[in-house]
Amino acid sequence: MAKIIAIANQKGGVGKTTSTVNLAASLAAHGQRVLLVDLDPQGNATMGSGVDKHKLESSVYHVLLGIRTLPAARVRSEAGKFDVLPSNRDLAGAEVELVDMDNREARLRFQLNTVTDEYDYILIDCPPTLNLLTLNGLCAARAVMIPMQCEYYALEGLSDLVNTIRRVRSSLNAELEIQGLLRTMFDPRSTLAQQVSAQLQQHFGDKVYQTVIPRNVRLAEAPSYGVPVLLHDKHSKGAQAYLALAAELLGKSVQGDENGKTE
Amino acid of residue 129: T
Beta strand 82-85 with 75-77 is antiparallel
pLDDT of the residue at 53 = 96
User: Which residues fall within 8 angstroms of residue 187, CB to CB, at 6 or more apart?
Assistant: 193, 214, 215
Q: Which residues of the chain have pLDDT under 50?
A: 258-263
Q: Domain extents for the chain?
A: 3-258
CA-wise closest residue to 127 among 102, 161, 151, 97 = 161
Cα 89 from chain centroid (whole Å): 19
The CATH number fitting domain 3-258, selected from 3.30.470.20, 3.40.50.300, 1.10.3720.10, 3.40.50.10780: 3.40.50.300
Distance (Å, whole) CA 111 – CA 66: 9
Burial class (CB in 10 A: 0-12, 13-18, 19+), 103: exposed
pLDDT of the residue at 254 = 58
Long-range contacts of 222-226 (CB under 8 A, 24+ apart): 222/22, 222/48, 223/18, 223/21, 223/44, 223/47, 223/48, 226/47, 226/48, 226/49, 226/50, 226/79
pLDDT of the residue at 193 = 85
Strand, coil or helix: 202 = helix
Enumerate the H helices of the chain as residue ranges. Answer: 16-29, 44-48, 60-64, 70-73, 94-98, 107-112, 132-140, 152-171, 191-204, 217-221, 229-232, 237-258
pLDDT digits (tens, 9 = 90+) for 16-54: 999 999 999 999 999 999 999 999 999 999 999 999 999
Amino acid of residue 237: K
pLDDT of the residue at 227 = 93
CA-wise closest residue to 213 among 1, 11, 15 = 15
Q: Taking phi first (over 0 means left), then psi (-120 to 50 degrees means alpha), and beta for anything else, what does residue 262 get?
A: beta
Whole-model pTM: value is 0.93
Strand, coil or helix: 225 = helix
